[in-house]
Structure 1
């Protein structure tokens, strides 16, 4: 790709990660090298199995937690912040050296909301990306500074969701 853009998938509706995965599979099918980074996901998900089927998609997890952030103790949250800072610094160096055409930062907005990363860190990363790198960011509540950098912003709006009637995440559908 000559020019890579910054895409943002946000909103209260379901489908942000699913859309990012669809793009990853499409890009991989065309021979692009995809790096798929998930933030705040510590449980096993179906996408892990699907991604394994593509040699040109690499999956990484940063800020990996077995519980939802707000269910962690203060000490666990602080430890996760330190871990994420270390992982982010290593990842930024890693991505500079890799053959990567498409980078997906799944649920990075959650990492920002929970102050695991700062807006400045993410904006600096976006501002200094290689020209040809396509970046997709997902998650709710996109800060204004990140929105300003987005070339494409898609908002998923919830009209109705079975979660509101007590249905939890289902294997193969949401996880």
Structure 2
């Protein structure tokens, strides 16, 4: 779980006697599904006053690009790709690809600014698998993020390179067949 400490941001006056280092967490599953525990954790942390950003790369359909984030409470921003549908194939038209690339660029910029303490990158593994976001860019992004930011990556078939840099890996699977 992510620590519930106030963490330093760009405008913070808080000084701790030790450095708070953010974690990279991976939640993966053999199937594409909604990671309820990740969303619940995000809502709980935001409810305690910690700034949280949820980015859903492959979900669309509600006219909610990076210029129109959904704000859930004072501390949780939720953005999706500005598309009329969800992405379930690597075959995007030019406008769809541009919307996804704009969201990825926006995500990198906003995380670099250090405003959020927790950032959830939902279904990032599928965006990589589909060839829509380069794996090398994601690794570079993770290595250059401000050190206090916790990152949660979700999605099926998480690339090994991302598993290798993760501090925690949670695999969600069925324990029995119905």
Category of TM-score, reference length = shorter chain: 0.7 to 0.9
In 2, Cα distance between the equivalents of 1:26 and 1:11? 23
Report the TM-score when normalising by structure 2: 0.75
Q: Which runs of 5+ in 1 are unaligned?
A: 45-50, 163-175
State yes or no: 1:107 paired with 2:126: no
Report Cα offsets for 1:118-168 as digits up to 9, x if no partner. Answer: 101110111111110000000000111111110000000034689xxxxxx
Report the TM-score when normalising by structure 1: 0.76
Number of residues of Structure 1 aligned to a counterpart in Structure 2: 153
Report Cα offsets for 1:11-57 as digits up to 9, x if no partner. Answer: 1267652121111012112210000101111245xxxxxx7441100
Name which of 19, 27, 32 aligns with 1:9: 27
Q: Which runs of 5+ in 2 are unaligned?
A: 1-6, 8-19, 63-69
Measured at CA, do residues 40 and 131 of structure 1 come closer, stay the same or move farther in structure 2, by a change above 3 Å? same
- Structure 1 vs Structure 2 CA RMSD: 2.5
State yes or no: 1:118 paired with 2:134: yes
* More helix by percentage: 1
Find the counterpart in structure 2 of residue 138 from structure 1: 154
The answer to whether the 8 A contact 1:40-1:63 is kept is no
Post-superposition offset of 1:91: 2.5
Give the number of the structure with larger relative contact order, counting CA–CA contacts within 8 Å between residues 6 or more apart: 1
Greater Cα shift, 51-60 or 32-41:
51-60
Greater Cα shift, 24-33 or 129-138:
24-33
The answer to whether the 8 A contact 1:13-1:158 is kept is no
Corresponding residue SS for 2:142: helix
